[in-house]
Structure 1
Amino acid sequence: MTTAKQELATNGKSVTNPAPDALISMRNIWKTYQMGTQELHALQGVTFEVQKGEYLAIIGPSGSGKSTLMNLIGCLDSPTKGQYWINGNLVSTMTDDELAAIRNKEIGFVFQTFNLLARATALHNVELPLIYAGMGASARHDRAEATLDSVELGDRIYHRPNELSGGQRQRVAIARALVNNPSILLADEPTGALDTKTSFEIMALFEKLHADGNTIIVVTHEHDIAERAHRIITIRDGEIESDEKTK
């Protein structure tokens, strides 16, 4: 049922249901920033859907709007207008607290700079989301260890970030993103801090995770990274320039 708040937030227009079976449904999404007397339209009428189990890359040059779109997908921001659904939840009208709850439940983030706790072991870094979720010590230890093993770091669980290579640190970050079994693995320039060989190893890991049934969205400016995905959305000047299946 549509609430009065939802009606207001969608400019008085009735809220329609998301497409059947769509994990993500974005409809006529706009993001506008006020720059003094000028309006900057970072996104303009963006519409697309993502099905469960897809492997999608979003690519575009600097200033194209891809980072703004990533922030909306990840529930780090809200659109100026338009409707955004995740797993049947209309998130485009949610409060900050509601967004945080959806974000913690539905999204696993992987960042370019890893964002690991320097003094914590790989195991403890991966346990952190489970600690916040209130899971008991024994259960979270087992879950974190199994997740690290799934990214081929089962023999490094007690190593700290400074004892790991860049690729290994990114694997820890990926394990941390996966440990809560999120609906979506959202990776922002996941190979940006890595050399070419390690970048392709990380992308091979994403392919394995996708084959295991995970929904993966990679945001990048690198064409060779985007081409590893099975679908590529190209963003330019805040609009979708193309949306193509590649595999």
Structure 2
Amino acid sequence: MKKILLVVFISLGLVGCSYVQLTDLPSSESEAEKIISLGLTHKENLSAAQKLQDPELVLAVIEKLEKSEELKNKLRIEAEDVIKYAEMVKVSNADSDGQIVFTGAEVFKTEKSGFFDNENERHNYFLYGVKNNNEVMKHKIRLSILYSSKNWRSYNSSNFCDKWRCDEDDQIEINLLSTDASKCTDSSCEYREIMELSLSDEFLKSNAEKGFTLEVNSKKVSTKVNIVSSYVLGYLSIAN
């Protein structure tokens, strides 16, 4: 719980300097800083800005106050999500080999497939990790992809993406656990492929603050799965 609270305090602590990044006019920056430092409510901050003499300055300061409040609320929600995900992590007692298993919450998402207009897909995932008696952590992400299509996709590899591109040169092998088909018609079936991928402790920790995107590939289709930072932070606050 101390780790969770630390994350919350760090996140909320960023709010105090949020307006520094909202650069416009130096005078509006200074006035916004003065108002925020008073510790007032957002409504009171806006009222204080309205009392400034220069109409253009009033508009500039209000814009900064609105953006600062928006960021503050975003960070608050993310901090609450970290706590929520942490509370949902299940810890299994050590087995005969001294191992402890940590299982994160399962996340479900439904998205439109970009390959054919009549295809859609639903995927769900969860992180889980095993700590041995030497305190060494090993993590995996288990992923299930359910989709409607004419044929199997047969996912066979994966790679990681940032906001700009996916590292297609670094293909990572996936372990296919099971497959099934249901609700078949003359034109399509509903297919499910369940797979898992190993993740290092170092990788999760280095991407905890920003989250990461996993791209799972078949010969014809690639599916992107976004794992948000609050999920990773919540999981690691317990599985560590």
TM-score normalized by the length of structure 2:
0.25
Q: Which has the larger Rg?
A: 2
